[in-house]
Amino acid sequence: MQVLVRDNNVDQALRALKKKMQREGIFREMKMRGHYEKPSEKRAREKAEAVRRARKLARKRAQREGLLPMTPRPAPAGAAGASRSPRS
């Protein structure tokens, strides 16, 4: 995996690398491979994940059809009109 470093800005390149790794699922993979997982535990985990995904999909479908109220999304931290003046 490669990340372009522009103008010697290593911090920005590290953020880009972390974002790419997160998107690819590398952190999750490292966490899973950090210790041995028995096949029975793996099956149980995967089944639980599938149930969780199915419930989430059913909940979203019910919200779209109007059977459940839509949950309000939290406002972004800096966008709620709270202008902060820089400290002098």
Cβ(4)–Cβ(13) below 8 Å: yes
Exposed/middle/buried for residue 71 (C-beta within 10 Å: 0-12, 13-18, 19+) = exposed
Average pLDDT, the chain: 87
Say how many CA atoms lie within 13 Å of 70 toward its Cβ.
6
Residue 82 has pLDDT above 70, yes or no: no
Distance of CA 84 to the CA centre of its chain: 28
Q: What is the pLDDT of residues 11-50, one digit of tens each?
A: 999 999 999 999 999 998 999 899 999 999 999 999 999 9
Q: What is the DSSP letter of 81?
A: S
Q: How confident is the model at residue 78 (pLDDT cuts 50, 70, 90)?
A: low
